[in-house]
Structure 1
Amino acid sequence: MVDVEFRVVSDRRDGLLLALGQVVIANGFTLLRQRMLNSEEGVVLSMVVRGPGESLLMLEERLGTHHLVQSFEASPYEGGSTAPAPTPVPRNNGSASAPTSVPPSAAPAPAASPSSAPPIDTQRVETLLPQLARNYPNILLQLVALERELPPAQREATLRYIGQRVGAWVYKRDFALGGQLPLADSVRRIALPAMRQLVQAELHDDILKIRNSPFCHRGDSGECCHFLRGMLGGLLEGQHGADGVRVIESQCRNTGAEACRFEFEA
């Protein structure tokens, strides 16, 4: 396995990380971290990836010839740990100051037991959360890469737990100053705009529909958008409490539906 850092310059920011991240994943590599900024050259995207050395030349060719890429550089990455220190996310839609740490740990990770969810690698999760805080909302590729690496027995529990942590953090950062809302209004005014930072989300008759979930078609049967379901729960728990709302993925593109469909019960 090799660690490589790519530096890409493009004239387009929207969709750049998603498009190039898909190329990285399709070639068997994992996206470890990324950073995007504006410069005089254009939009500069730096990506640190890890994968098989025998596939590196093919990945470099596909990135270098991608239609969004104006210039491209690759170099060995020797930066050690890829987990940055907890970093504040500067954007804040409300008047409260943005949190300066990782998504909150309001609830401990579920303990393993014969009747509970599979065990969660809490050390790995706690290492990942500062990266998600730093990169938010450009986090889906990291989560898809994590999903590919996790043992099947840990995927649902781990991704739902991360989603709950991220959702609770986003709620406290952007929505906590609002008044208490009924569930339907919470979905419309909190869950929907938060989801639209990540995916294409629509609301129809209090049902949230997502047409481009990156977690579909991963090879598993059944509903698979565990992170999104967890994040929706974390967002709404701020208004209704952990036991006050239930999020159900009633349809999923992974099972052939046109869109992933989430319903809410109080």
Structure 2
Amino acid sequence: MIDVEFRVVGGQREGLLLALGQVVIANGFTLLRQRMVAGSEGASLTMHVRGPENRLLQLEENLGSHPLVRSFEASPIDGAAVRPEPRETMAPMAAPATAPSKAPVIIHDPAQMPRVQALLPLLAREYPNIFVHLRALEYELTAEQYDATLEYIGRRVGAWVYKRDFALGGQLPPGEAIRRIALPAMRQVLEAELQGQQLHVTNSPFCGRGRKGACCHFLGGMLAGLLDTAQGTNTFRVVEAQCRNAGAAACAFEFHH
């Protein structure tokens, strides 16, 4: 479980708390306290909520896309996180490069959440020039923390890119979504092409940095975040089947749903 504070700016005061409170509850969280004030940009609502960490991404996406919300930011409350249940702490950290995993993406160390939440607005402002900030995390996190955290950030970025650039289109079948959403979105940041059922990236910035094996966890997370948001599900699993860091000619991603 984790405690999070959301600061939301809405276009109208009336009905804002009721509507967003229902979103919080529907995602399995509890609204512990709230405060609303009027500002120059609209109604400013602060909510302190508590709930399962593995549902936080979905809650943030639902709040951020709510029609009453103009903008919002989230930050875990220092010292308020509740120790996870044993089942959650034993969950696999991230999908391995050789086989898909059904386990949810989690951040191994909840203490990293404030760092991640502070980084996300910076990535949004500087997108697509984001990789220098992501690589900087190598010096702050252990290898295990880095892999899982980069996949989590990738999912967040993928969901954001979909809402920014692709949300006005109709829902596409999975194969079409890969071709018309995942591929052009990846081309915003890197060289990419489809080869059969795989998406190939030839210039991943995560390769050749002294680590062994597949290493493009952010890119796999970004693709999964794009497609899950496009489909309105949480069923896509993206597997890095080949990686330049392991000797392949390109980093190749497979899609399972």
Q: TM-score, normalised by structure 2?
A: 0.59
In structure 2, what is the Cα distance between the partners aligned to 1:142 and 1:160? 14
SS at match of 2:220: helix
5+ residue gaps, structure 1, are 1-95, 104-110
Deviation of 1:102 after TM superposition, in Å, equals 6.3
The corresponding residue for 1:155 is: 146
Structure 1 residue 246 corresponds to structure 2 residue 257: no
In structure 2, what is the Cα distance between the partners aligned to 1:185 and 1:136? 25
In structure 2, what is the Cα distance between the partners aligned to 1:132 and 1:152? 21
5+ residue gaps, structure 2, are 1-66, 75-83, 94-107
SS at match of 1:169: helix
The corresponding residue for 2:159 is: 168
- 1:1-266 → structure 2 map (5 Å cutoff): 100=71, 113-117=89-93, 118-120=108-110, 121-266=112-257
Deviations 1:211-234 (A, max 9, x none): 000001222222100000000000
Which structure 1 residue ranges, 4+ long, deviate > 6 Å from structure 2? none
Of residues 211-220 and 124-133 in structure 1, the stretch that sits farther from structure 2 once superposed is 211-220
Deviation of 1:156 after TM superposition, in Å, equals 1.1
In structure 2, what is the Cα distance between the partners aligned to 1:101 and 1:225? 29
> How large is the Cα RMSD of the aligned pairs?
2.4
Judged with a 3 Å threshold, the aligned counterparts in structure 2 of structure 1 residues 160 and 177 are, in CA distance, closer, same or farther, namely same
Deviation of 1:140 after TM superposition, in Å, equals 1.1
The corresponding residue for 1:66 is: none
Deviation of 1:100 after TM superposition, in Å, equals 4.8
In structure 1, what is the Cα distance between the partners aligned to 2:252 and 2:139? 23
Equivalences, count: 164
Partner amino acid, structure 1, of 2:121? P
Judged with a 3 Å threshold, the aligned counterparts in structure 2 of structure 1 residues 164 and 132 are, in CA distance, closer, same or farther, namely same
In structure 2, what is the Cα distance between the partners aligned to 1:242 and 1:157? 21
Q: TM-score, normalised by structure 1?
A: 0.57
In structure 1, what is the Cα distance between the partners aligned to 2:253 and 2:219? 9
